[in-house]
Structure 1
Amino acid sequence: MRKKDILTPIGITLGFIMIMLAILAKGGTEGVASFLDISSIFVVIGGLMASLLINFKMEQIKLTGKVINETFHKNNQRMPELVDKFILLAERARREGILALENEMDEVDDEFLKKGILLAVDGIEPEVIQDIMNAEITAMEERHYRGRAILEKAGEYAPAWGMIGTLVGLVLMLNSLSDPATLGPKMAVALLTTLYGTIMANLVFIPMKNKLEQKTEEEMFTRQIIIEGVIGVQSGQNPRILEEKLRAFLSNEKENQKDKDDVLTGENVNEA
């Protein structure tokens, strides 16, 4: 069972709470009503849906719910457990032969890992195994890109439709200049569509797209480790040497994360 990623709902909820607190701080409970306008919601959501229908095929549109659901779950594979699995496979392969690994496949949940081991058991050349598995990684990356492209485009279109709604509202407002008392309320309603579109883009669509992109990078990195492990097991590499080789990937991952943290910290210091 996949683990839930609680940071996504927490982030979205926290964003909306902060917006509501800002509204309540300035306008009280009465001010909340002034930020609700059904026609503005129709313009942004309806226009956004129209643009996505034009931009994508129906097959991709149907996957939107599944794509969004991915942002609420974590990747299952844990690196240390993956390395330990390869050590066990390498030890059994050296002890009983590579064909003995076929009996281990029932205990392997990862389909990519299972395919790699089966290719090794079949005696496929290491270069061919790498080509096949790298082709799968490329195909996976392309699938993930097409999936998150919907969220990426939604993040672009939502503010644009918000601006279109604002322009429509301004035109209607200018047509009623003879009644100055209505200008303020009509201007406020006109600006609401821009507000809705901006919130949807920057609190929902773009952050979700970025999270999916990060998950894809993590999965690609994991699959590269799997390829190295499969080749090591097939070649009869010493389990201890294979362990050191695979744990080097974990060290590099930690170093890369540390470098990112240092860069962010340095930026914060410079800004301060």
Structure 2
Amino acid sequence: MDILSIVGVIVALAAILGGNILEGGHTESLVQLTAFVIVMGGTIGAILLQVQMNVFMRSMRMGLWVFVPPKFGSAAAIQRIVEWSNTARKEGLLGLEAIAEAEKDQFSSKGLQLLVDGSEPEVIRKILEVEVDVKEHHDTQAAKVYEGMGGYSPTIGIIGAVMGLIHVMNNLADPSKLGPGIAVAFVATIYGVGMANLFFLPIASKLKAIIHQQTQYREMVVEGIISIAEGENPRNIETKLQGYLH
């Protein structure tokens, strides 16, 4: 659980709602279903037009990473790689076959299997780097969905504001309808700008940071497996890989 994300959401909402109350405003005045429907519906519709469905669905699943990020365990992974290296030196590369089958991380398992199959170091590097690049590309495309929503929602908020003002202009003869129309106009703008800067854009940035960490983790695994293939000393491998921890 990422406590910082939870605290960030609470602090942001508390600051805005608290500031509204300090100015003498009422929280109920910020709750406008019509404005919410316009902004959220328009934003989601625009992003669905921009991306493919599989990218959109992946972005929704990845959104949970903001609060429950995947665990990489780089230090533990280094120790496992050193153990693999010791096994390879004692039993040969075929001694890694059972370890490859038992390894839970599919990426590491694939690398170990390539070692067991006797693939050349450069061949292993090319195969694994392709998977690293493709995985990073797909995840980044999913993160950009939130970036796109952050770009669209303020504009959709302005559309909602204009719609509210049009409603006001059409009802100038009926003062009872002026208040709701003006409320929708201003609240739609708040929703559009607020959701972009408090949620969509920060989520996109955090997901990109997590993707970067994930890519570094996989690059570390690749470097470790290549070092084993080249027959490097386990102690040297450990020293080299510890550079990824900083």
- The TM-score, its normalising length taken from structure 1, stands at 0.83
**What secondary structure is seen at the aligned counterpart in 2 of 1:34?**
helix
Q: Which residue of 1 aligns with 2:21?
A: 24
CA contact (8 A) 2:160 2:184 kept: no
One of 149, 158, 165 as aligned partner of 2:153:
158
* Cα shift at 1:197: 0.9
2:139 to 137, 144, 149: 144
Query: Post-superposition shift, 1:167?
Result: 1.2
CA distance in 1, matches of 2:220, 2:46: 40
Q: Choose which of 105, 109, 130 in structure 2 pairs with 1:135.
A: 130
The answer to whether the 8 Å contact 2:157/2:191 transfers is yes
The amino acid that maps onto 2:88 is A
Cα drift, residue 185 of structure 1: 6.7
RMSD: 2.1
Q: Where does structure 1 lack aligned partners over 5 or more consecutive residues?
A: 255-272
- Which consecutive unaligned segments of at least 5 residues does structure 2 have? none
Alpha-carbon distance in 2 for matches of 1:66, 1:181: 44
Match of 2:104 among 100, 109, 125: 109
What's the counterpart of residue 191 of structure 2?
196
Distance 1:245 1:64 in 2: 34
SS class of match (1:63): helix
Q: After superposition, give the CA deviation of every residue in 1:225-244 in whole Å (9 maximum; x if it has no partner).
A: 11110011122211111111
Rounded to whole Å, the distance in 2 between the matches of 1:220 and 1:59 is 21
Identity of aligned residues (%): 32
In 2: Cα distance, 1:33 partner to 1:249 partner = 50
Counterparts of 1:209 and 1:238, CA distance in 2: 41
Distance 1:185 1:70 in 2: 38
Q: How many residues end up aligned between the 2 structures?
A: 246
Specify the alignment match of 1:257 in structure 2. Answer: none
Which one of the candidate residues 11, 20, 33 is aligned to 2:8?
Answer: 11
The CA distance in 1 between the partners of 2:166 and 2:64, in whole Å, is 39
How far residue 170 of structure 1 moved from its aligned partner, in angstroms, is 2.1
Q: Which residue of 2 aligns with 1:266?
A: none
Write out per-residue CA displacement over residues 55-105 of structure 1, whole angstroms, 9 at most, x where no aligned residue.
223333333431212222223222211111111111111111111011223
Alignment map for 1:28-39 (pairs within 5 Å):
31-39=26-34
Corresponding residue to 1:218 among 213, 220, 234: 213
Q: What's the CA shift string for 1:125-153, capped at 9, x where partnerless? A: 11111100010011101110221122111
Range with bigger deviation, 207-216 or 171-180: 171-180
Q: Which residue of 1 aligns with 2:53?
A: 58
